[in-house]
Structure 1
Amino acid sequence: MTTTIETPTPTSSDTGALTVTGTPGPRHDEILTPEALDFLAALHDAFLARRHELLTERQRRRRQVADGIDPDFRPETRPVRDDPSWEVAGHRGAPGLERRLVEITGPTDPKMTINALNSGADCWLADAEDASSPTWENVVGGQLALHDAIRGRLEFAGPAGPDGAPGKQYRVTAGDDGQDLAGLPTIVFRPRGWHLTEKHLRYTDRAGRPQAASASLVDFGLYFFHNAAELVARGRGPYFYLPKLEGYREARLWNDVFVLAQELVGIEQGTIRATVLVETLPAAFEMEEILYELREHCAGLNAGRWDYLFSVIKSYRTRGPRYVLPDRSRVTMTVPFVRAYTELLVATCHRRGAHAMGGMSAFIPDRRNPEVNATAFAQVSSDKAREAGDGFDGTWVAHPDLIPVARAEFEAVLGQRPHQLDRQRPDVHVEAADLLDVASAQPSDGTTGVTAAGLRANVSVGIRYLESWLRGVGAAAIDHLMEDAATAEISRSQIWQWVHNGTVTETGVRITRERVEALIAEVADDLPRTPGNRVDDAVAVFRHVALDEDYPTFLTIPAYNQFLS
């Protein structure tokens, strides 16, 4: 294993090119500058071929699992796991990442950016991935919002009132001296995953062949190129969350991207810090190796619970009833196979000096409904007390009102300590069988744990979320839960698995394609048809990703390619 860049750095006389094909918008030229596009082209020249190779490797491993070959800890990387001498860079030399008790998540549109920076959280996960719909306006507009926020000049005006009165004004209330970012949540930017492309930019390689641009390299590259040096000058740094990794070779690719990017921009190697979301089943078997590959740039790992459940369902969807999960609401963080995953993550991180970050409870408050508020606070309080007690160093919330709730639970365990990295977990011994014990989530009475209400909820959430996503809103409050692409993936994947395994509900009713079709029609009929809504398109996407014989690996791929502009 090595951290050496495997692809030669391109020279100025031997490079590809990035061309903008998307419709120009206001101030787009400030982000899509010739210099920024040259930087993106250099990243694509160096790394696009390896990206293709690794995506092909993902397909091979998925076929292996479908054929009955379970994932396992890699014997060839055992020396890395057995070597006690190495640690990651962690938060050392990364101002703003020392204390991460509560991180708020959300997309990067101007209003959400201001609200996040005013929230009082320790960090903000500025999300260009699962909580964002990648319309071209959102992609470039999110970069503009971050660019302006980092420089202390972001403002936003809400829509005008019915009488023509000016709309509500939004601005960041701390750190407004324009000089540094003290007092504001530390920004940790999440680009899109390796599997996604950006169709509004065309990459032409050195041989003159056009190819799709990598969404990961586009998101990372634009943010880093415009803001890395500025962040350092203002007392922070370029920090990232890395989504959907499936193994250490994908982490190595990111590390090599970081090395080249820092070299091209001229900032010190090791300035970047990345936190990896462990949200795929294959990655759970390679946590230590992922940390090792990124050790000079790594801050920690995050337990991406919803995507992890989606990955488990996706991996074992054709392997029979033993791997069928019950209603999503019943698959809590305390079921044995999920608990094995989180305990392994904490133990692995603390052994290597990395932060272990908890996940996000889906419950959100409603200031107009005291009963909903009480439920949300109770659920989040319980969830965060469990995480803090298990050794996590911080956690996520999706709403500012939940920050004090989460902080109280972590401070009850940590006191004034910024983290609990010194808390080792020698009691944790997780084997492959523990991570793969999906049956441990099933009821002990022999029933499936699948209900008619759970089936209907999956159809309803899937369609309603997709309708929101197609309108450009990637984080949607639905039935007092915060839904994003990950939870929508669970909804449609469970339906696919239930149909193809002939799953019956607790009352003995078999889940068939016809039954799901009827529910789709009912849900669609109940949704309002207003100007600009995307109900019919959402139904078309949902029917494809939940019921087609060929299972799409991500619902966002066909939805993006066919319906998003």
Structure 2
Amino acid sequence: MVGLGTYEYPAPTMKKNTIGYDTPEGVEIRGRYDAEFGRILTRDALQFVADLQREFRNRINYAMECRREAKRRYNQGALPGFDPATKFIREGDWTCAPVPPAVADRKVEITGPVERKMIINALNSGAKVFMADFEDALSPTWENLMRGQVNLKDAVDGTITFHDKARNRVYKLNDQTAKLFVRPRGWHLPESHILIDGIPATGCLVDFGLYFYHNYASFRRTQGAGYGPFFYLPKMEHSREAKIWNCVFERAEKMAGIEQGSIRATVLIETLPAVFQMNEILYELRDHSVGLNCGRWDYIFSYVKTFQAHPDRLLPDRVLVGMTQHFMRSYSDLLIYTCHRRGVHAMGGMAAQIPIRDDAAANEVALELVRKDKLREVMAGHDGTWAAHPGLIPACLDVFSKMGNAPNQISSKKREEAAAITEEDLLQRPRGVRTLEGLRLNTRVGIQYVAAWLTGTGSVPLYNLMEDAATAEISRVQNWQWLKYGVELDGDGLGVRVNFDLFGRVVEEEMTRIEREVGKEKFKRGMYKEAAKIFTRQCTAPTLDDFLTLDAYNNIVIHHPKASSKL
């Protein structure tokens, strides 16, 4: 057992290879050799990644141990809360560095994986920002990660094209495109295809390091107006993790010979512990920050995970855990207040709906839900929002145009009542029913998402919503929670308690439904049975795993033992 935390790295499939990458001392590449990938995996770029890994790995390991210690406290009955030791930061009169003009207007941001066609369409979509995702919307296969780096380099260079042979259409960039942000993986995720001193690299340092090394100069000239590159930072739980990122940025700026504060990042507040650390996170990143984002799907997942040993904090059906729940509204309001007090953007959450092309009436109902959600965000004070599909961008832009000609609401009147939000507000128990249909939906979505993820797809349209790892995680941990505590169901399941027998029947019945919906041939070709085994094991495990994708990761790692060479 090696590497970060207690993660056990796989004994993967071995394949022979005769050509290798030129790697610096102590670096071994075990991913497939590809001449295109060689444009990214250069000796100097790998040396930069290795330097980051060696400089920061002890601090990363310590931060992960602090996460585990916090989890032990919560499992023993403690509640997360504001840290008395950093009260001086929360009450201090300080601001972050001014927002660069290039990204002052972020009214609508579109997100998606680093696939070639997706990158072109997203940059051309009319959104203000495209967040290219190496995290929740991407299955981290070697092919996806490295081809994603190639695609981003071509996008920053302005040379990216895509020939859709089925449609005989060539896609290329428009003259005006969205600003590019990149989301690397979280601190907890390894990259098992790259070993540094015999240990799998930290995934986010691979994503950040390779992208920054190859693109910072072109990006600052073409997109950042002297600033950037720009990033989104996921899954943090404490400001110590933000401090590591700040030091990584400073190290990168020094290597590149650019001014301190050139790199800018938005942090996703998508874990329950992090909501009590928002001021502290901004403080650590104050020279590099451009705000916080309400990562609300992961936040719901984190609520269950944080309170996994608290039977009095069971979630209702996932469809009922929206922004009208008091703990969710309090989280959003406090984020907005905190960001505007510190002079940076407060970004809203994801609109996950996708156009319903064969039902105009249903599509209009879905669009109206999006409009109402975005109107709530703009009236609350958010400076921008997220959309999962280009078809939602006109509706989102129309709502956010209510801000007028201003690019954002940072300098608008602060909602001082948000300053009075308490720990109790942020932890209030969610209300709602728990139904058999909720259990079925969790199971159906979870299995289908894992099946797609195992075959290399991390962003999956299901039932008119774009699902990613965050919503699959909600499905998993909610099933686990209901099973652990034998939840009594409401509605059609009134009086029935969730147990292993019931869950087993639900899995069988939902697998039959999935086969009927996708078709027998696709069901045979897909990895649905393997996905059902993984998802079922995760839902019924005596101890809740921190992340579904860490367990499933073993299934997508393929080592090529001769991919590295000393040329």
Secondary structure at the aligned position of 2:372 is classed as helix
Partner of 1:450: 434
Is 1:68 the counterpart of 2:77? The answer is yes
**Could you tell me whether the CA contact under 8 Å between 2:325 and 2:431 is conserved in 1?**
no
1:263 to 1:16, Cα distance in 2 relative to 1, 3 A: farther
Pairwise CA distance, 1:159: 3.8
In 2, Cα distance between equivalents of 1:418 and 1:18: 45
**Could you tell me whether the CA contact under 8 Å between 1:537 and 1:563 is conserved in 2?**
no
Is 1:379 the counterpart of 2:380? The answer is no
Partner of 1:331: 321
Partner of 2:248: 257
Choose which of 294, 298, 307 in structure 2 pairs with 1:316.
307
Secondary structure at the aligned position of 2:417 is classed as coil
**Could you tell me whether the CA contact under 8 Å between 1:90 and 1:355 is conserved in 2?**
no
Is 1:523 the counterpart of 2:531? The answer is no
**Could you tell me whether the CA contact under 8 Å between 2:108 and 2:128 is conserved in 1?**
yes
TM-score normalised according to structure 1 size: 0.90
Q: Deviations over 1:5-34 (max 9, x none)?
A: xxxxxxxxxx97322111113501000010
In 2, Cα distance between equivalents of 1:390 and 1:26: 50
Is 1:390 the counterpart of 2:380? The answer is yes
Is 1:241 the counterpart of 2:232? The answer is yes
Q: Deviations over 1:545-564 (max 9, x none)?
A: 11111211000001012345
Pairwise CA distance, 1:521: 1.7
Q: Deviations over 1:294-344 (max 9, x none)?
A: 000000000000000000001112211x20010001111111011111010
Is 1:167 the counterpart of 2:168? The answer is yes
Is 1:114 the counterpart of 2:120? The answer is yes
Is 1:403 the counterpart of 2:393? The answer is yes
Larger relative contact order (Cα-Cα within 8 Å, sequence gap ≥ 6): 2
What is the one-letter code of the residue matched to 1:124? F
What is the one-letter code of the residue matched to 2:247? D
**Could you tell me whether the CA contact under 8 Å between 1:470 and 1:534 is conserved in 2?**
yes
Q: How many residues align?
A: 521
| 4+ residue runs over 6 A deviation | none
In 2, Cα distance between equivalents of 1:26 and 1:365: 38
Partner of 2:355: 365
Choose which of 201, 205, 219 in structure 2 pairs with 1:217.
205
Partner of 1:512: 499
1:16 to 1:42, Cα distance in 2 relative to 1, 3 A: farther
Q: Deviations over 1:409-446 (max 9, x none)?
A: 1112x1111000123121111111111112xx223xxx
Question: Which structure 1 segments of 5+ residues have no match?
Answer: 1-14, 161-165, 176-182, 205-209, 444-448
What is the one-letter code of the residue matched to 1:369? D
**Could you tell me whether the CA contact under 8 Å between 1:318 and 1:500 is conserved in 2?**
no
What is the one-letter code of the residue matched to 1:420? Q
Amino-acid identity (%): 44
In 2, Cα distance between equivalents of 1:97 and 1:426: 26
**Could you tell me whether the CA contact under 8 Å between 1:16 and 1:42 is conserved in 2?**
no
In 1, Cα distance between equivalents of 2:147 and 2:58: 29
What is the one-letter code of the residue matched to 1:525? T
Q: Deviations over 1:64-90 (max 9, x none)?
A: 011011111001101111111x11124
In 2, Cα distance between equivalents of 1:197 and 1:252: 20
Secondary structure at the aligned position of 1:510 is classed as coil
Secondary structure at the aligned position of 2:386 is classed as strand
- Aligned residue runs from structure 1 range 80-479, under 5 A: 80-84=89-93, 86-91=94-99, 94-160=100-166, 167-172=168-173, 174-175=174-175, 183-204=176-197, 210-236=198-224, 237-320=228-311, 322-412=312-402, 414-423=403-412, 424-428=414-418, 429-438=420-429, 441-443=430-432, 449-479=433-463
Secondary structure at the aligned position of 1:22 is classed as coil
Pairwise CA distance, 1:95: 4.3
What is the one-letter code of the residue matched to 1:464? Q
In 2, Cα distance between equivalents of 1:318 and 1:327: 19
Question: Which structure 2 segments of 5+ residues have no match?
Answer: 1-23, 559-567
Is 1:548 the counterpart of 2:535? The answer is no
What is the one-letter code of the residue matched to 2:352? A
In 2, Cα distance between equivalents of 1:539 and 1:290: 38
Is 1:500 the counterpart of 2:509? The answer is no
What is the one-letter code of the residue matched to 2:302? S
**Could you tell me whether the CA contact under 8 Å between 2:382 and 2:409 is conserved in 1?**
yes
In 1, Cα distance between equivalents of 2:181 and 2:97: 16
Secondary structure at the aligned position of 2:191 is classed as strand
Q: Deviations over 1:433-480 (max 9, x none)?
A: 111112xx223xxxxx01111110000000001111111111111000
**What is the RMSD of the two structures over their aligned residues, measured on CA atoms?**
1.3
Q: Deviations over 1:521-562 (max 9, x none)?
A: 222233235364111221121012111112110000010123
What is the one-letter code of the residue matched to 2:231? F
What is the one-letter code of the residue matched to 1:217? L
In 2, Cα distance between equivalents of 1:38 and 1:244: 26
